[in-house]
Amino acid sequence: MKSCLIVDDSKVIRMVAKKILQDLEFETAEAADGQIALDACKVGMPDAVLLDWNMPVMSGIEFLREMRALPGGDKPVVVFCTTENDIEHIQEAIEAGANEYIMKPFDSEIIQAKFTQVGLL
């Protein structure tokens, strides 16, 4: 079973994403900010990360750069899931190592399509 780390400061978003991902047969873990997520990655890298941009303590983009620098940090497929939809944010995310980008709000079909596109499904 593949694993996905859901990183978002919104408990509701994490809950919705968790339900969708578990229906797609992913093992899920959650983190409320980038620092918690980074600590989790140091213990064990997930197969995928569903990542919010705007969070307290450490933002999604800071987490992404730090995670990519860790041993094995090049392995997880990272899908940004955020309200930041301007070209500058998308470009910055891709340059930092994101594999894909989806907008909030999202649904099961959107996540399934993106995860299929990046080879997770």
pLDDT of residue 84: 83
Whole-prediction pTM value? 0.96
Instruction: Indicate the average pLDDT of the chain.
Output: 96
Across the beta sheet with 100-103, what order do the strands follow?
26-31, 2-7, 48-51, 77-82, 100-103
Per-residue model confidence as pLDDT tens digits over 72-94: 999 999 999 988 888 999 999 99
pLDDT of residue 106: 94
Lowest model confidence (mean pLDDT) among 24-33, 47-56, 79-88, 111-120: 79-88
What is the rounded distance in angstroms from the CA atom of residue 106 to the CA atom of residue 88? Answer: 21
